[in-house]
Structure formats: C-alpha cells, structure tokens
Amino acid sequence: ILNVEQSPQSLHVQEGDSTNFTCSFPSSNFYALHWYRWETAKSPEALFVMTLNGDEKKKGRISATLNTKEGYSYLYIKGSQPEDSATYLCAFDFGNEKLTFGTGTRLTIIP
C-alpha cells in the first residue's frame, strides 16, 4: 500500500501571514509529484508537477519544493489571502498515468 501523507490535516492562518505544509511520500520508485488546489464547490486544479530532486516551482505567491531522496515536498504560501482558502492535495506519480493522492491539507484564511 502506497502511503502519501499530508500534514497538517487543517490549518487556520491570519490574512497576510505566510504558511507552509508538507507532503510525504515513498522515496523509492519516484517519478513525479503533483500539487492541486481544491476550492469548495469547484474542481481540483493542478498547481505544480515536480520531477527533479531539488526542484522549486512558483506560481504567484505559491511555491513548492521537492526532496526525492528523503521523500517530502513543501508547499509555501506567502502573504495569505482569503482566496487561498482551499484544500491542497499532493499526489504521487509512479509514471504509469495513475496518481495516488494524499488526504489533503485544508487551509482557512482568517480575514
């Protein structure tokens, strides 16, 4: 059984503060790691696909890092805004077209 763990499960952050959360995955047979944002009443939306150890990707105020040797990825949000409230999912990719998702981190930004 493949374990993709995300922590924390939920997080409340004051507007304007920065935050980060973790995705842990098996360090063997790594192919890629995906991050998605899932806003309430919407579809999950792809944020990043990361393939190389040491990779860092950025999209506006959101960035992600990848450590394949130790099996973790961090997602950072700088200067949180109310529109950042969502569940953030990571997904492990074996390279076989099928993604295994973590349980997600539910982020709530407090105005």
Backbone angles phi, psi at 58, to 5 degrees: -140, 140
Judged by CB under 8 A, which of 23, 66, 86, 89 binds other proteins?
89
Q: For other proteins, give the closer residue by CB, 89 or 109.
A: 89
Least distance (Å) from other proteins to the CB of residue 72? 17
| Spatial distance between the Cα atoms of 107 and 13, rounded to a whole number of angstroms | 7
> Is residue 1 within the footprint of other proteins (CB under 8 A)?
no
Strands 72-77 and 62-67: antiparallel
> Is residue 46 within the footprint of other proteins (CB under 8 A)?
yes
